[in-house]
Amino acid sequence: LQLALAGALYTAKGWASPQAGEAYARARELCREAPEGAELAIALNGAHSFLHNRAEIRAAHQLADELVVLSERRNDSDTKLITHKCLGVSHLFRAEFSHALHHLRQALNFYNQDVHRSPWLTPHDMRVNCESFIAWILLLLGQGDQALAQSRRALAWARELSHPTTLAFALHVNCVFHQLRGDGAILEQRAEELVALATEQGFPHFVGSGTCFRGWAMLAVGGSIEEAISRMRRGLATKRATGAEIKVPYYLGLLAEAHRRANRSADGISLLNEALELVERTDERWYEAELYRLMAEALITKPDRHDAERWLCRAVQTAQKQGARLWELRAATSLARLWRDQDKRTDARDLLAPIYRCFTEGFDTPDLKEAKALLEELG
């Protein structure tokens, strides 16, 4: 049993690889024969990570529910820590943000620094895992300042641990965070560090995502659009070659935006259609509303803007349903701009103003600055 678990953890360098799946499946079967310790929870967590990284979101969520039953039966802190972490991650990617935040915070209540500081339950530190995702969720919920502080704490703890797998994970999620926040300068730094560390340690998944983020950072700071697109495509291909499909709709959305900036909207629309097909097939919905907005932005370049308005309304409604204030603000800003251009300034202001007023922090971020400037223009 110990050899099976060790083998599963070793193959975690390729979390979505068939070898990792086979190792965790073997470990799970052995654990079911002797479930007296925390080994079954560890094996279920590994299987959850495997399915999650392959974007088999529904199957991963079923395993999280299985962990709930195990947690109730065993009632020990290690199993509860794993259970709440898995539930939090599953809810996050299904765009159930409030539930995700609850479970990730609950997980931290069972984290014992003295016991868990050297990761043995999972391939990387559970506190870093939960705090990194909490920052991400807070940002989407519109709590930008709290999110930034949380993100800094997570990365600082990862650096203190001096554990390469944990640091690579923390840098990866930190890259997502700063891309969503629109901070190209910090993203460029984090992506460079991630690619260097992942290359040295042999983490191809993170080499791929880091390369993709380096491309987007180049776009954000005014570099060559064509070179940025090339890097992003190369990074996404590297990531997918490991078997990892998680966040692919997100990366396709970033690529689509780059193609729009390069005046190749048709290519962007094709990428977004692929992304939306994946959303429906996998149930990975955390980026869904933003994909609708990006589709609208690609269609706005065409003479008939009616379809663009329809996509933007869908983006606003989806964001509201999910409680994703950041996506709601972005979609409302895009729709208000479209209505301004159609000389519907009152409608534009009436849409955007109440959404903007819901924010109480994060006013130094590009999204809030852009919304404020548009509202001032609309009077």
Residue 1 clears pLDDT 80, i.e. is over it: no
* pLDDT recorded at residue 26: 61
> Mean pLDDT lowest for which of 70-79, 88-97, 156-165, 212-221?
70-79
Percent above pLDDT 90 for the chain: 75
Instruction: Write the pLDDT tens digit of every residue in 225-278.
Output: 999 999 999 999 999 999 999 999 999 999 999 999 999 999 999 999 999 999
Which pLDDT score, from 0 to 100, does residue 8 have? 44
Q: What is the mean pLDDT of residues 87-94?
A: 98
Higher pLDDT among residues 326 and 1, named by residue: 326
Per-residue pLDDT reduced to its tens digit, 289-312: 999 999 999 999 776 677 999 999
Q: How far apart are CA 171 and CA 192, in angstroms?
A: 10
Measured distance CA(258)–CA(212) in Å, rounded: 12
Confidence of residue 200 (pLDDT cuts 50, 70, 90): very high
Q: Compute the distance between CA of residue 145 and CA of residue 206 in angstroms, rounded to an integer.
A: 27
Tell me how many degrees the CA angle 152-184-287 measures, rounded to the nearest 5. 80
| 2-24 pLDDT per residue, tens | 434 444 444 445 555 565 556 55
